[in-house]
Amino acid sequence: MAFDVTFAEEFADAMLHVLGWFVIAVVVAVTVVNAALMLASPRAWFRLPEWFPGRGSMTEHTYGSGLGAIETRIAGGMMVAAILWVLYDSLLRSR
């Protein structure tokens, strides 16, 4: 017995696939901007709008300068390294 797949079901699957890739692209773009600013300038990262970065309980007073800024830069560097690792492994590494 063969399965009958209608055009509407195929279209819905394709649209979910496109929507999934769009969501992934948005999440990666926001993460890249956050990580780059955390690494380059923690003070600039704290000046981003509240809705953009996910800084949680971090405050500019504590993490904008001194040892807190070093911690923020380390976190940004780890995020950049993780993104580059995933991109390398998925796009450039020979199978």
Query: Is 87:35 a contact under the CB 8 Å cutoff?
Result: no
Q: Answer with the residue of higher pLDDT: 50 or 77.
A: 77
Query: Is 6:17 a contact under the CB 8 Å cutoff?
Result: no
- As a whole number, mean pLDDT of residues 31-59 equals 85
Q: Is residue 72 part of a domain?
A: yes
pTM recorded for the entire structure: 0.73
- As a whole number, mean pLDDT of residues 1-17 equals 76
Domains of the chain: total: 1
Q: Is residue 12 part of a domain?
A: no
Statement: residue 13 has pLDDT above 60: yes
**Domain around 68:** 60-95
Q: Is residue 8 part of a domain?
A: no
